[in-house]
Structure 1
Amino acid sequence: MSEPPPGRMARLKQRSAEVAEFLRVLPEQVPMIGRALHQLLHVRLLDCATRLAAQSFLSALPALFVLAVFAPSSIRDGVVHSLRHELGLQGQAGESVQQLLQTGKDQETGFGVVGALVTLLSATALSRAVQRVCERCWELPKSGTRMAAWRWLVLLLVWLVVLVFQAPLRNGFGLGGWLGIPLTFLAACALWWWTQHLLLARRVRWLPLLPGSLLCGVAVIGLGLAARIYLPRAMTRSVQQFGSYGVVFTSLSWLIVLFAGLTLAIAMGRVIAEEPQIAHWLGGRTEPGVWGGPRF
């Protein structure tokens, strides 16, 4: 291949230098962009998302199965419906989940209440992981175990209940997506608004948490619509290639994407909340706080 003419190479180098200089001074000209870049580097998005996905798969899903085993058949059917909808479980994958829950129901007496309590307590690992993400996004020190322990269990139970009703909510309780999408958005915003306030132990006021909660609602809606298109085909293809292990691979990958979007929403929510004009409207104080940013 022939090399570009010297004049063209010089123009390309000049253009590259201009772009690099623009990117270098952009955070100084637009402080919000600089804070956003700093926030992304500090939060370590992929690391947090992977940890949350692993904890939800290894601890929260077993707790969900335990809830379905001891709950009435209507709740169990709601669990299956929600899992099928949220993770794209169709055909063989959906039948495997149905069979797993039915097998657990048949062995309920052998499992015992003690086993169920141990499973639920172990599942609070997900709550602890979410708390660490929220604290990292807001650059807060860790809460004491005595202060946070009851919050972990309450969060887990509320999340499990919300998941049971997630599929009917997305369908607008039978009325269609025109109602389901707004309801899902409002429910997601309310859930993540309350989740942040609960796990941060009231160290950040309600209003500064609102931008991140709204972004979480947008992430839930956007990723939910993408899941309807991507997950069923990907899950079917994985099951055909890897059998039951395909459900694990695809589900875990999708959970990483989901939690990456939610972590990004919480992190950017803090950046927006700390904009001087927005911080004034939200009632926050704009002087630097103990943790390197405005303290609310």
Structure 2
Amino acid sequence: MTEQRGRPSRARWVRAGSTWLRGRTATLRDAPFPRRLVAQLVHVHVLDTATRLAAQAFLTAVPVLFVLAAFMPQAVRNSVSESLRTVLGLRGASLDEVKQVLRSNRTQTTDAFGAAGVLVTLLSATSCSRVLQRLCERSWHLPHLSGRLAAWRWLAWLLVWLTALTVQGQVRSGFGVGHGLGIFLYLLTGALLWWWTQHLLLGGRVRWLPLLPGAVLTGAALTALSSASRLYIPRSVDRSVTQFGPLGLVFTLLSWLIVVFTAVTLAISTGYVVAGQGRLARLLSTPEPAPADD
């Protein structure tokens, strides 16, 4: 009898708790910025999302870069290696290993993969796009876009970013003009790419202007990390290779990807909070925040 009487009581507590949470979510837009930001970061699961993005990029997106480069002209391969050298600061043995992979015999690579193999590799690499789409949706508190509507967007995002990576070296060096111009161009192109990324992966459900703060924050964060990587990556690679051999490069790259995607996750999720603040929300016509989804 006591147990039976306890069950309705617990159910009432659960319903009351759910009602309270919905009420708190509805009034969250009126809360101070730090409180909104903390609630947003908890909702997005920053470390979990960043780790998933890093793992997918390492396991799928990075390999597809080398596979596609093997089918491209030598000038494109040189551009890819230059981008990796300039952006990550690779040098010495680590840079030689990358160049060796990109110089792999084109006929042997074509025979090994074929058109079907390349297609499968591309499709598997869209797993990174899918996780990134989920980050954008959680950041903007939107329901998940079905695969039927989003599939082409995953592939489009991957192809555009792979193309962008091939010219990052030239952008970062300011096309030979100077380091200062290179930093500005890197920031500008990064912000534009992440502006487009959010709009694409959200399926156009959020207008362009509210997405701008997140794009600027992401571009700025990645520009700062690009400068830091030129100091950190070479030393870390040399130390890791000395301790662990060839696996040292793997450990360093994976750990750096986690740092990069943590910055991306923080910037995009923070951009939502910034875009919903006071006058800026009215200026950008930011939509009213929806209740947090699970």
Normalized against structure 1, the TM-score is what? 0.85
| Count of residues in correspondence between the two structures | 265
Task: Give the aligned partner of residue 91 of structure 2.
Answer: 90
> Which residue pairs with 2:284 in the alignment?
282
The answer as to 2:217 corresponding to 1:215 is yes
User: What amino acid maps onto 1:239 in structure 2?
Assistant: V
Q: Which residue of 1 aligns with 2:56?
A: 55
Structure 1 unmatched runs, 5+: 1-26
Given that 2:29 and 2:36 are in contact with CA atoms closer than 8 Å, whether structure 1 keeps it comes out as no
Question: Structure 1 154/285 Cα, relative in aligned 2: closer, same or farther at 3 Å?
Answer: closer
**How is 1:14-163 mapped onto 2 (pairs within 5 angstroms)?**
31-111=32-112, 112-163=114-165
Partner Cα separation in structure 2 for residue 73 and residue 131 of structure 1: 33
**Distance of 1:273 and 1:197 partners within structure 2:** 15
* Structure 1 residue 29 displacement after superposition: 10
- Cα deviation, 1:228-259, whole Å, max 9, x if unaligned, reads 11111111111121111111000000010011
Partner of 1:233: 235
**Equivalent residue number for residue 17 of structure 1:** none
Name 1:6's counterpart in structure 2.
Answer: none
Spell out, residue by residue over 1:136-159, the C-alpha distance to the aligned partner (whole angstroms, 9 max, x if none). 111111101110000000000000
Identity among equivalent positions (%) equals 53
Residues 276, 70 of structure 1: alpha-carbon distance in 2 compared, 3 angstrom cutoff: same
Any idea what SS the aligned residue of 2:175 has? coil
Residue number among 241, 247, 271 corresponding to 1:245 in the alignment: 247
Output the aligned Cα RMSD: 1.8
8 A Cα contact 1:121 1:153, kept in partner: yes
Deviation at 1:217, TM superposition (A): 1.2
**Cα distance in 2 between the residues matched to 1:100 and 1:155:** 24
- Local SS of the residue matching 1:123: helix
Could you tell me how far apart the structure 2 residues matched to 1:200 and 1:97 are?
A: 34
Rounded to whole Å, the distance in 1 between the matches of 2:147 and 2:110 is: 33
Provide the rounded CA distance (Å) in 2 between the counterparts of 1:263 and 1:269. Answer: 10
In structure 2, how many angstroms separate the alpha carbons of the residues matched to 1:226 and 1:39? 27
Pick closer, same or farther for the CA change 1:28–1:39 going to 2, 3 Å: closer
Q: 1:106 to 1:87 in 2, by over 3 A?
A: farther
Deviation per CA, 1:169-207: give whole Å up to 9, x if none: 000011121110110111000000000000000111100
Name the CA distance, whole Å, in 1 between partners of 2:282 and 2:205: 18
Higher relative contact order (CA 8 A, sep 6+): 2
Letter matched to residue 64 of structure 2: A
1:285, 1:198 → 2: CA distance? Answer: 18
Q: Give the SS at the match of 2:176.
A: coil
Aligned to 1:3: none
- What is residue 177 of structure 2 aligned with on the other side? 175
Q: 1:247-286 counterparts in 2 under 5 A?
A: 247-286=249-288
Q: Secondary structure at the match of 1:173?
A: helix
DSSP 3-state at the match of 1:143: coil
Q: CA 1:60–1:282 in 2, change beyond 3 Å: closer, same or farther?
A: same
**Amino acid paired to 1:237:** R
2:70 counterpart letter in structure 1: V
Per-residue deviation, 1:66: 1.4
Q: Structure 2: how far apart are the matches of 1:106 and 1:254?
A: 33
Letter in 1 for 2:212: L
Distance (Å, rounded) in 1 between the aligned partners of 2:63 and 2:73: 17
- Contact 2:40–2:139 (Cα < 8 Å) also in 1: yes
- Does the 8 A contact of 1:86 with 1:224 survive in 2? yes
